[in-house]
């Protein structure tokens, strides 16, 4: 079963697009060794998107205001409930996991989450801030490294 | 904002030493799709001075739209928000029909409405079972750990959980089949749709619609068995705490029946009698926007009645949209099973109109059944597979208006362009904006009703949140004016409106 790379965000809301952009680059680089999906949905609506995979990498933006814009944060599913100010997109993951278990759905058991601290996820506009754009390639490399063992394994 | 699903309510209580007031913030709001904040100001006795519902959100959309091609608006507007993309897509497409003065062929209209009904089914199902349902199916004051979809499944059974997921997947696949994509559909064009339906597509829509009709019927049965047969829940629904006598607005067909896709806007008075019926092109003559210093959202009101503060009754221009309002603004449903459920609704709640906010949950399920029945009617229509799906626009564009009923209420799009079709002005009035004044009143009244003598616990705070959750508000696109920033600000206000404290996150 191919691993899922799920880019979350909105590409007309400034830095909120980062997860989608990274996912698109990985789609080009990794071809059909992975399943790449993009979504601007959140919460329970993501259940449909995530169901049917065993391994999943989520790529998103985050605004904790505790790190400089462009910082890349690496979470596991266990961390999510503990994050002080998570992005709205991937939150709800613990409930999704519980629900999937309860309903015997095929749902990722290995979950990695990469989130970039962003500067402006609030303005309706196209284009990334300088800080976030500058960290894009690094994010792609880290995401690539995350899924490599899943592809070869 | 989904992180609220996993985090404890941040119930911070800030003592105010100067005047003894306490300021409670429920932030972020649990289970709401989008950001939001409630401020509750207590007086010295521990009762509520005033509660404010605030929606700091995305801004700058009109500026973003300027200079873009009008044809791109169905794609652009559907990307504003991940919650109701199909509603924006459809409303923008209709505004383009009007902009280019082109009437789509019957098959195109039917395909659009059928896809739109499918969207209503999946959206209403999501709200009832996942977001709003926990309040009633599990119980308003049940332990927080149980007030979620898992608690709902504990009450109604795991098989129903699988059914909800299965139906939503089937319906979303159908939207993708006709619309290109589920989240951001690409099929609406001025004068029609981008591709015809095949016979095979039609069969799939018929099967999906039949499934949805069964789903709608058993969802109403669950509501009947779990909610209506529980006297305590029914008492809450009809309690004064969750009741407002306001005007109601919704789209109706030529026989004044609920329609989500097209028709005239009908407004009824608090006594249920028709107040006005108008075309979308006249929306600005009838709907005004009121600004308050404590909120970024503009509060819509009826111009012919006037703004009379946050008050109810026939002399206040505040009106409501969304499921309960749509049922109240109409005189019936256009499909037989939904009509029967509509009659049962008003019989149980003592006639039309119903003013109880929490009855929105019931009205939503009646609408779900209507959407399913209407989808089946359209799927069975021989015209739906006609290859004649587009009339080509020939007029020079100048101004276009669009309206649909979004699941959360009436949605308006209004564009002006130059002669090349480039946007010079875009104005959107989204459902939550239409509902904003009544939602603000509902939160305030619920807070006053359930918080007494300083006693506040999680169950009580949840009952305040229930006041707005019934409307299924979404704030992803509710505010959209310059300067293009979405700050998050917590304000502590005195009863006279003076700023006592401000916390900024920008």
> What is the crossing angle of helices B106-126 and B158-179, to 10°?
150
Tell whether B79 lies on the interface with A, counting CB pairs under 8 A.
yes
B150/A92 CB distance under 8 A: no
List the single residue in B with minimal CA-CA distance to A10.
Answer: B79
What's the pLDDT score for residue B31?
A: 34
Which structure tokens are listed for B34?
């989008």
Burial category of B287 from C-beta neighbours within 10 Å (exposed 0-12, middle 13-18, buried 19 and up): buried
B133 and B227 belong to one structural domain: yes
Q: Give the model's pLDDT for residue B491.
A: 38
B414 inside domain: no
Reported confidence tier of residue B485, pLDDT bands at 50, 70, 90: very low
List the single residue in B64, B168, B183 with the smallest CB-CB distance to A124. B64
Which pLDDT band holds residue B504 (cuts at 50, 70, 90)? very low
Whether residues B222 and B361 fall in one domain? yes
Domain span holding position B455: 2-58+443-505
Closest CA to B489 of A1, A111, A19, A122: A122
CA angle B467/B150/B142 to nearest 5° reads 50
- Span of B121-135, B406-420, B471-485 with lowest mean pLDDT: B471-485
Which residues in chain A are closer than 8 Å to B60, comparing Cβ atoms?
Answer: 123-125
Claim to verify: residue B126 and residue B218 sit in the same structural domain = yes
Is the pLDDT reported for residue B18 higher than 50? Answer: no
Could you give the CA distance from residue B471 to residue B468 in angstroms, rounded to a whole number? 6
- B156 near B139, Cβ under 8 Å? no
Q: Do residues B230 and B117 both lie within one domain?
A: yes
Q: Would the pLDDT of B505 be above 50?
A: no
Q: A42 and B1: CB-CB below 8 Å? A: yes
Asked whether the beta carbons of B317 and B75 are under 8 A apart, the reply is: no
The pLDDT value recorded for residue B4 is 22
Cβ <8 Å between B484 and A47: no
Confidence band, pLDDT 50/70/90 cuts, at residue A89: very low
DSSP B356: B
Can you tell me the distance from the alpha carbon of B42 to that of B25, in angstroms, rounded to the nearest whole number? 11
**Interface ipTM > 0.90:** no
A123, A2 contact by CB (below 8 A): no
Residues B168 and B51 in one domain: no
Nearest to B149 among A39, A41, A99 (CB): A99
pLDDT score of B362: 97
The Cα of A109 is separated from the nearest Cα of chain B by a number of Å equal to 18
Q: What is the mean pLDDT of residues A99-118?
A: 90
* Of B232 and B81, more confident: B232
B5 touches chain A (CB under 8 A): yes
Please tell me what DSSP assigns to residue A76.
Answer: E
Residue B303: burial class (beta carbons within 10 Å; 0-12, 13-18, 19+)? middle
pLDDT of residue B363: 98
Say yes or no: A52 contacts chain B, CB-CB below 8 A: no
Q: Which helix (H) or strand (E) holds B63?
A: helix B61-65
In B, minimum Cα distance to A122 occurs at: B486
Q: How many Å apart are CA B452 and CA B447, to the nearest integer?
A: 9
Chain A residues in contact with B165 (beta carbon < 8 A): 47-48, 51, 103, 105
Asked, for residue B13, whether it belongs to a domain, the answer is yes
pLDDT greater than 90 at residue B371? yes
The bridge status of strand A55-62 relative to strand A110-117 is parallel
Residue B249 lies in a domain: no
Nearest to B64 among A12, A47, A48 (CB): A12
Q: Do B483 and B387 belong to one domain?
A: no
Neighbours of B457 (CB within 10 A): 9
Give tens-digit pLDDT for B138-165: 887 788 778 778 888 888 899 998 999 8
Q: Does B14 contact A at CB distance below 8 Å?
A: no
Helices B336-348 + B199-222 axis angle, to 10: 20
Q: What single DSSP character describes residue B8?
A: P
Do B160 and B24 fall into the same domain? Answer: no
- Residue in chain B closest to A95 (alpha carbons) equals B6
Q: Structural domain tally of chain B?
A: 2
CATH number of B141's domain: 1.10.645.10
Q: Is residue B402 part of a domain?
A: no
Mean of the per-residue pLDDT values of chain B:
84
Least confident of A31-35, B220-224, B292-296, B389-393: B292-296
- Higher model confidence: residue B263 or residue B33? B263
Query: Which CA distances in Å does B261 have to B1, B87, B104, B443?
Result: 28, 9, 14, 30
B371 and B479 within one domain: no
Domain co-membership, B116 together with B177 = yes
Query: Do the Cβ atoms of B280 and B412 come closer than 8 Å?
Result: yes
Contacts for B291 with CB less than 8 Å, ≥ 6 apart: B298, B299
Chain A contact for B313, CB < 8 A? no
pLDDT digits (tens, 9 = 90+) for B182-226: 566 778 999 999 999 999 999 999 999 999 999 999 999 999 999
Of B158, B172, B480, the CB nearest to A103: B158
Residues from chain B that touch A47, judged by Cβ atoms under 8 A, are: 165
- The pLDDT assigned to B53 comes to 78
Closest alpha carbon to B76 in A82, A125, A35, A84: A125
Tokens of B78: 């559907």
Q: How far apart are CA A91 and CA B444, in angstroms?
A: 28
The answer to the question of residue B138 being in a domain is yes
The whole-angstrom separation of Cα B145 and Cα B227 is 20
Strand bridging mode B264-268 / B274-278:
antiparallel
- Asked whether residue B283 carries a pLDDT value surpassing 80, the answer given is yes
Based on the fold, state whether residues B125 and B209 are members of the same structural domain.
yes
Q: What is the pLDDT of residues B451-480, one digit of tens each?
A: 888 777 767 777 887 888 888 876 555 432
A88: which chain B residues are within 8 Å (Cβ-Cβ)? 1-3, 34-35
Question: For B370, left (φ over 0), alpha (ψ -120 to 50), or beta?
Answer: alpha
User: How many residue contacts between A and B have a Cβ separation below 8 Å?
Assistant: 112
Give the alpha-carbon dihedral of B179, B182, B184, B188, to 10 degrees.
20
pLDDT digits (tens, 9 = 90+) for B70-118: 999 999 888 877 678 899 999 999 999 999 999 999 999 999 999 999 9
CB contact under 8 A, B161 and A40: no
Q: How far apart are CA A138 and CA A133, in angstroms?
A: 10
Work out the average pLDDT over A16-31.
95
Residues 482-501 of B with CB under 8 A from A: 484-487
B23 lies in some domain = yes
In this structure, the answer to whether residues B376 and B476 fall within a common structural domain is no
At residue B184, the pLDDT reads: 65
- Which three-class secondary structure state does DSSP give residue B422? strand
Is there a domain that residue B384 lies in?
yes
> Which residues in chain B touch residue A92, judged by CB atoms under 8 angstroms apart?
2-3, 5-6
Supply the pTM of this predicted model. Answer: 0.88
Inter-chain residue contact B2 with A122, CB threshold 8 Å: no
Work out the average pLDDT over B415-432.
94
State whether B122 and B196 are in the same domain: yes
- CB-based contact, B447 to chain A, within 8 Å: no
A91 or B9: which carries more pLDDT confidence? A91
pLDDT, tens digit (0-9, with 9 covering 90-100), for B317-352: 999 999 999 999 999 999 999 999 999 999 999 999
**Residue B353 preceded by cis peptide, ω within 30:** yes
Residues within 8 A of A (CB atoms), B 237-296 only? none
Residue B79 lies in a domain: no
Q: What is the pLDDT of residues B251-267, one digit of tens each?
A: 999 999 999 999 999 99
Higher pLDDT, B62 or B411: B411
Cβ distance of A40 and B82 shorter than 8 Å: yes
- Judged by a CB distance cut-off of 8 A, whether residue B82 touches chain A is yes
């Amino acid at each position: 079963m191919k691993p899922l790379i799920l880019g979350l965000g909105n590409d007309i809301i400034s830095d909120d697009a980062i997860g989608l952009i990274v996912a698109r680059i990985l789609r080009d680089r990794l071809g059909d060794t992975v399943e790449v999906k993009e979504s601007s949905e959140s919460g329970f609506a993501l259940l449909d998107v995530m169901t049917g995979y065993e391994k999943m990498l989520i790529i998103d933006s985050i605004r904790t205001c505790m790190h400089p814009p462009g910082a890349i944060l690496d979470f596991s599913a266990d961390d999510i409930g503990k994050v002080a100010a998570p992005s709205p997109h991937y939150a709800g993951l613990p409930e999704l996991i519980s629900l999937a278990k309860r309903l015997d759905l095929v749902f990722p058991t290995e979950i990695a989450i990469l989130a970039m601290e962003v500067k402006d996820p609030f303005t309706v506009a196209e284009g990334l801030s300088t800080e976030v754009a500058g960290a894009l390639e690094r994010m792609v490399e880290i995401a690539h490294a995350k899924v490599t063992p899943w592809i070869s394994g | 904002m989904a992180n609220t699903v996993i985090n404890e309510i941040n119930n911070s209580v800030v003592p105010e030493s100067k005047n003894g007031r306490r300021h409670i913030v429920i932030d972020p709001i649990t289970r709401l799709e989008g950001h939001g904040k409630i401020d509750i100001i207590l007086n010295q006795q521990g009762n509520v001075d005033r509660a404010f519902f605030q929606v700091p959100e995305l801004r700058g959309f009109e500026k973003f739209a300027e200079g873009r091609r009008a044809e791109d608006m169905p794609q652009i507007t559907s990307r504003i928000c991940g919650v109701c993309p199909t509603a924006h897509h459809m409303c923008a497409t209709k505004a383009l029909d009007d902009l280019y003065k082109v009437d789509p062929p019957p098959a195109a209209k039917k395909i659009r409405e059928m896809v739109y009904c499918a969207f209503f089914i999946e959206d209403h199902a999501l709200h009832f079972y996942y977001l709003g349902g926990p309040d009633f199916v599990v119980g308003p004051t049940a332990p927080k750990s149980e007030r979620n979809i898992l608690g709902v499944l504990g009450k109604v059974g795991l098989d129903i959980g699988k059914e909800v997921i299965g139906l939503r997947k089937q319906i979303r696949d159908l939207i993708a089949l006709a619309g290109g994509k589920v989240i951001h559909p690409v099929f609406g064009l001025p004068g029609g749709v981008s591709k015809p339906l095949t016979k095979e597509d039609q069969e799939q829509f018929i099967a999906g619609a039949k499934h949805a009709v069964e789903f709608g019927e058993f969802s109403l049965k669950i509501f009947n068995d779990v909610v209506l047969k529980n006297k305590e829940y029914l008492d809450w629904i009809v309690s004064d705490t969750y009741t407002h006598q306001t005007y109601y607005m919704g789209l109706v067909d030529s026989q004044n029946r609920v329609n989500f896709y097209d028709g005239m806007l009908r407004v009824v008075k608090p006594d249920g009698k028709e107040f006005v019926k108008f075309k979308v092109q006249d929306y600005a003559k009838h709907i005004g926007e009121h600004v308050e210093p404590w909120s970024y959202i503009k509060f819509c009101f009826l111009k012919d009645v006037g703004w009379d503060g946050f008050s109810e009754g026939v002399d206040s221009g505040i009106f409501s949209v969304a499921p309960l309002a749509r049922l109240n603004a109409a005189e019936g449903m256009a499909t037989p099973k939904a009509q029967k459920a509509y009659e049962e609704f008003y019989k149980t709640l003592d006639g039309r109109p119903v003013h109880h906010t929490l009855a929105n949950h019931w009205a939503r399920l009646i609408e779900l059944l209507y959407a399913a029945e209407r989808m089946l009617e359209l799927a069975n229509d021989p015209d739906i597979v006609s290859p004649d799906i587009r009339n080509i626009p020939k007029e020079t564009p100048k101004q276009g208006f669009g309206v649909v009923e979004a699941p959360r209420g009436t949605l308006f799009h209004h564009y002006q362009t130059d002669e090349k079709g480039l946007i010079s002005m875009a104005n959107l009035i989204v459902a939550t904006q239409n509902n904003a004044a009544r939602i603000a009143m509902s939160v305030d009244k619920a807070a006053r009703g359930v918080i007494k003598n300083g006693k506040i616990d999680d169950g009580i705070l949840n009952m305040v949140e229930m006041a707005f959750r019934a409307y299924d508000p979404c704030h992803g696109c509710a505010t959209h004016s310059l300067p293009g920033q979405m700050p998050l600000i917590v304000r502590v206000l005195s009863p006279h409106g003076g700023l006592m404290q401000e916390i900024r996150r920008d």
